[in-house]
Structure formats: C-alpha cells, structure tokens
C-alpha cells in the first residue's frame, strides 16, 4: 500500500515498451509528439529499471496493452492508497481501457480495488500526489471538476486533506510542475500555485523552464530519478539543495509527453522511522 509519495519506494509497476509504443497511427490523438526510437527507448527503460532495483525496489513489468501506446505510462490509470487502489478514468479518450488492464494486473498481485472514478468524472494519476495527510489534486486538461469531487469523496474518509490546484495549460499534469522529494518536502515550479497551497510543507522551487521541470520520481527521502535529457536546471538546483539525483536519459519517453513520474506506478512505499 501507499500513503506518502515521499516514502521509500519498495515495489513499482512499469510497462516496458515492446510494440504498442512504436506503432502509433495517429500521433495527435495519442498525444505523442514524435515516434520514439525502439532501441534507444528499450535501453532507457532498462536503465530506469536497473536504477530502481539497485535502490532496493521490486519492479514488476506488466505486459503492454495492445493498441495503447500510452500504456508505457502506467502512473496515470490507477491511484494507490493506504487501503488499496482507486481505478481512475482517463481524460484522454484513446487511453480508455487501460484502467481495466492495470486493475486486473494489480488484482493478480494481490492488491484490492477500493473505488473508481465513473462518468462524467475524469482523473489521471499524474494529477495526484499523496504527501502525509495531504492529497494534492490538480484540475487539468485531463482531470475535471467531477473527477476531483469523486476523488475527494474517496480520499477524505482515509484521512487526507484534499488541496486542489489549477494546472497551467503548458503542463499536461500536476506532476509536470510538482513532485515529492520526501515525506514532507516537494519540488515545485515557481509562480504557478495559489498562495497557501504548500503550508506546512518544505519546498524547493525551480524556474518553470519546460513542461516537465517539476517531474521527478522519489525513491526515498532525498533520493530521486530525473530526466537528464530535459531537466538540467532542475537537477542542478536539487543537487545544490542536497538531494541525490539519479540522472537518466529518458528522451525517448519525452517524445510521448512523459517523464520519470509517468513511467513508474508506485505500488508500495515504506516509511522509515
């Protein structure tokens, strides 16, 4: 189970690209900027997986869903919570169906479903960050007001204070402009959030220098993975602030509008007392 995105990552799901990510008939409909290179993408995913495993995380590779190139980004389709997973509903129509695919995979791993987002609501996992007893939820192009309301109704009984924030148009998800760095610490882009959103939370600010400037994946308190091909300014600032950064070239996944957070679905995180 997972209650805090800043805790140590002990189990994660990925869906390594094999065929679907390289066989895209309509780039625009799938929000893919450019067809990726198969060999480079395969090597980059192997390096990402090896980095997680070297940190002590179990990595489960779920076979891709045929005809769904974006299933390489499993973060978006479910939300892990302390009580089980919530099946989300994709805002991008071409991703519909991935929710059932991942739900079946998680149930086969022994995880239980504790709720779902239903029409007309949409919520994508890239718009949700759980941090302690706070749930940050982004209202974006992919997550609508009805979805935010449904998700809030599911998370509030678990003890989360839901804090919502608008996601600027230049960002696809909340995770592009904000990420956990530890149990009560976040990275975020300067000047894009309403006052008071981060009350009680330690922050590191970076200049909003691209659509994924705030996109890193927390391995444990003070340890993150970042995209070396896109986030040089962010990496420099994090290292200056004492954060250990595993910098990996993930350029082939940037072509699909994704980054480190998108490629990894954290399933279990363990708090370190």
* Domain extents in the chain: 8-270
> How high does pLDDT run on average in the chain?
96
Average pLDDT over residues 48-59: 98
Strand ranges, E, within 62-105? 78-81, 84-87
Asked if residue 273 has pLDDT above 60, the reply is no
pLDDT of residue 154: 98
pLDDT of residue 272: 64
Name which residue leads in pLDDT, 202 or 194.
202
Model confidence over 54-72: pLDDT tens digits? 999 999 999 999 999 999 9
Name the CA radius of gyration of the chain, rounded: 17
Please tell me the distance from the alpha carbon of residue 127 to that of residue 251, in angstroms, as a whole number.
22
pLDDT of residue 207: 86
User: Can you list the alpha helix ranges (DSSP code H) found in 124-267?
Assistant: 145-155, 232-240, 251-254, 260-263
Residue % of the chain over a pLDDT of 70: 99
Asked if residue 101 has pLDDT above 70, the reply is yes
Domain 8-270, classified CATH 3.30.2130.10, yes or no:
no
Dihedral pair phi/psi, residue 20, rounded to 5° = -60, -40
pLDDT of residue 170: 83
CA angle 159, 161, 163 (to 5 degrees): 155
Model confidence over 229-255: pLDDT tens digits? 989 999 999 999 999 999 999 999 999
Asked if residue 39 has pLDDT above 80, the reply is yes
Asked if residue 18 has pLDDT above 60, the reply is yes
Dihedral pair phi/psi, residue 64, rounded to 5° = -65, 160
Model confidence over 69-99: pLDDT tens digits? 999 999 999 999 999 999 999 999 999 999 9
Model confidence over 117-176: pLDDT tens digits? 999 999 999 999 999 999 999 999 999 999 999 999 999 999 999 999 999 888 899 999
The region of weakest confidence among 29-43, 196-210, 221-235, 252-266 is 196-210
In 10 A of CB 267, how many CB atoms? 22
């Amino acid at each position: 189970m997972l209650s805090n995105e800043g805790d140590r990552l002990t189990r994660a799901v990925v869906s390594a690209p094999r065929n679907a990510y390289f066989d895209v008939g309509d780039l625009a409909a799938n929000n893919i900027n450019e067809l990726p290179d198969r060999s480079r993408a395969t090597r980059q995913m192997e390096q990402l997986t090896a980095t997680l495993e070297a940190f002590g995380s179990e990595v489960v590779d779920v076979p891709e869903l045929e005809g769904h190139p974006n299933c390489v980004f499993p973060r978006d389709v479910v939300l892990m919570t302390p009580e089980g997973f919530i099946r989300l509903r994709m805002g991008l129509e071409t991703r519909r169906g991935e929710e059932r695919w991942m739900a079946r995979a998680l149930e086969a791993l022994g995880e239980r479903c504790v709720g779902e987002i239903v029409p007309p609501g949409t919520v994508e996992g890239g718009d949700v960050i759980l941090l302690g007893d706070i749930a940050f939820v982004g209202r974006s192009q992919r997550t609508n007001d009805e979805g935010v309301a449904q998700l809030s109704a599911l998370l509030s009984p678990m003890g989360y204070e839901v804090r919502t924030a608008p996601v600027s148009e230049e960002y696809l998800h909340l995770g592009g402009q904000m990420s956990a760095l530890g149990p009560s610490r976040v990275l975020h882009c300067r000047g894009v959030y309403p006052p008071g959103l981060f009350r009680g939370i330690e922050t590191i600010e970076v200049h909003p220098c691209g659509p994924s400037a705030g996109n890193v994946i927390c391995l444990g308190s003070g340890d993150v993975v970042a995209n070396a091909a896109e986030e040089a300014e962010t990496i420099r600032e994090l290292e200056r602030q004492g954060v250990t950064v595993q910098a990996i070239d993930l350029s082939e996944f940037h072509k699909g509008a994704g980054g480190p957070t998108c490629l990894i679905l954290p399933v279990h995180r363990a708090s370190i007392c």
